Amino acid sequence: MKELTILHLYPKDMNLYGDHGNVLTLQRRLEWRGVTANVITYNVGNKFPAQPDIIFGGGGQDSGQDIIAKDLQTIAPKLKRLVEANTPTLTICGMYQMFGRFFKTLTGEVINGISIFDIETIGGNERLIGNIITQSDQFGEIIGYENHSGKTYLGKNAVALAKVKMGAGNNDEDGLEGVIYKNAIGTYLHGPLLPKNPRIADFLIAQALQNKYGKAGLTDLDDSLIEQARAIAKKRPR
Ligand code: GLN
């Protein structure tokens, strides 16, 4: 029986707008394919697990980011090694920002990130809130909900996840949303992201199976209800 371990980073302090639903989606889509999914949580001060197959981290208030910042630096070398070794990784909003170089908040405080992504984030006066639709080469249309004041700018080595069709995205200026580096994705999309965007869920799962068993072999699932939910979500106003 195949088995994967999903590592959920800092759920106590970083978990907004349904982010936990991403973990549930990965779990269910694995189970429906006969793969056992073990979910491990990592909070400040915990022991880092030996070999996670998928890494997930959700969004957080500035205060939550502050709480985890120091601890995150202690596990940064391990996270970097895992991302460099192609471990599928999904970071949302606050954790997306923390995987970058730094987040300078509106009050001028600089919260250091771990520089896995070549991005920088500056707190803005305006909150960027609402439903968002983006278009990506790899995953088609991506649908979600954003709520952040941080504005993220990609460095010259960074590749955006998608282009914004409706909403603000990284900074409401350059029309870009998220970042993708190796098998690691950063995005502002909550909602949660994965139930509405199963192609991304299956990308993470397929990469994890490939890494561990040398072959993904994903069977198709009936996603017709998801397609209906996506069609309805797309008609919602910003
Ligand atoms: N605190 C960050 C910001 O406002 C992240 C918010 C979030 O994770 N939703 O930009």
At residue 206, the pLDDT reads 98
At residue 78, the pLDDT reads 98
Q: Is the CB of 93 under 6 A from ligand 1?
A: yes
At residue 7, the pLDDT reads 98
Crossing angle of the two packed helices 198-213 and 20-31, in degrees rounded to 10:
60
At residue 46, the pLDDT reads 98
Cα–Cα distance for residue pair 102/141, rounded to 1 Å: 29
CA of 220 to the centre of ligand 1 (A): 34
Examine the residue annotation and report whether 190 is marked as an active-site residue of this protein: yes
CA of 148 to the centre of ligand 1 (A): 4
At residue 135, the pLDDT reads 98
Q: What amino acid is encoded at 236 in this protein?
A: R
Cα–Cα distance for residue pair 229/192, rounded to 1 Å: 13
Q: Extract the residue ranges of the chain whose pLDDT is less than 70.
A: none
Q: Which atom of ligand 1 is nearest to the CA of 92?
A: 8
At residue 123, the pLDDT reads 97
Cα torsion through 115, 161, 196, 237, rounded to 10: 110
Q: Is the CB of 149 under 6 A from ligand 1?
A: yes
pLDDT in tens, 91-126: 999 999 999 999 999 999 999 999 999 999 999 999
At residue 3, the pLDDT reads 97
At residue 87, the pLDDT reads 98
Examine the residue annotation and report whether 93 is marked as an active-site residue of this protein: yes
At residue 127, the pLDDT reads 96
At residue 81, the pLDDT reads 98
